[in-house]
Amino acid sequence: MTLLTREQMAQRIARELEDGFYVNLGIGIPTLVANYIPENISIVLQSENGLLGIGPFPIDGQEDADLINAGKQTITTIPEASFFSNADSFAMIRGGHIDLTVLGALEVDQEGNLANWMIPGKMVKGMGGAMDLVAGTKRVIVCMQHKNKAGESKILKKCSLPLTGVKCVNKIVTDMAVLEFTKEGLKLLEKAPGITVEEIKNSTEADLIIEGEIPDMIF
């Protein structure tokens, strides 16, 4: 069984982007999505610390301490960029003006609940902007490994960890599959090449809707 790499997951998520989307990418694998934006569409990336219009990373020597993304990485801006305060940034997010956000997760459950900020008993680093993003963004895609390091499913019947948001996830892209929340429940849409539906079922605690032939992911 060959699981997808981080880059392949990012490539698959990039196919969810539509021309004209304003997008907020979380830290980690979601950030990699920016490397795979299709050439024929135009996307504007938002950074919750107060920038609309993130550009590529700077050339060595041209980094600017006053210009960072939410992951505190040095960045550049695109020509149509604008700067604003965190209050304005989260008005933009909470107000439903951002089309899509991509976030990592510790757990997702079959109700679409998300847990990605806290493990009781371990040091709590904080939720940052995640709770606001999932409460306000039009579409939420979770990007994560299908199973945790202990080999247990991260897609559960019910989240066990403290939640980030309730019924907020639209789609999950993992290293094994693409799944979508529908009115009927969590539906298996695509499988990673070389992975069988049986393997996905065995790796998923949540109830899955599996209808017909499940196609391979296209990157």
Partner 1 sequence: MNKIIKSALESIKDIKDGDTLMLGGFGLCGIPENLIFALREKGIKNLTCISNNAGVNDFGIGLLLQQKQVKKMISSYVGENDLFERMVLSGELEIELVPQGTLAERIRAGGAGIGGFYTPTGVGTIIADGKETKIIDGREYILELPLKADFSLIKGYIGDTSGNLVYRKTARNFNPMMATAGRITIAEVEEIVEIGILNPEEVITPGIYVKRLIKGEHYQKRIEQKTVRKV
Which residues carry out catalysis? 48
**162-191: which residues touch partner 1 (CB under 8 A)?**
162-166
- Residue pair 51/64 in contact (Cβ under 8 Å)? The answer is no
Alpha-carbon gap, residue 149 to 217, rounded angstroms = 24
**8-67: which residues touch partner 1 (CB under 8 A)?**
47-51, 56-60, 63-67
Does 124 sit near partner 1 (CB under 8 A)? yes
Among the listed residues 88, 198, 97, the one whose alpha carbon sits nearest the alpha carbon of residue 139: 97
Closer of 129 and 175 to partner 1 (Cβ): 129
Which residue type is seen at 56?
P
Only segment of 139-147, 149-157, 158-166, 183-191 that touches partner 1 (CB under 8 A): 158-166
Q: Please count the residues of this chain forming the interface with partner 1, following the rule CB under 8 A.
A: 51
The least CB distance from residue 209 to partner 1, in Å, is 24
Q: In this structure, how many other beta carbons lie within 10 angstroms of the beta carbon of residue 99?
A: 18
**Binding test (CB under 8 A) with partner 1, winner from 36, 53, 74, 153:** 74
> For residue 18, what is the enclosing H or E element?
none
The least CB distance from residue 178 to partner 1, in Å, is 26
Pairing of strands 51-54, 77-83: antiparallel
Which residue type is seen at 211?
E
Q: Three-class SS of residue 210?
A: coil
Contact positions vs partner 1 (CB under 8 A):
47-51, 56-60, 63-68, 70-75, 77, 83-87, 89-91, 93-94, 113, 123-132, 135-136, 162-166
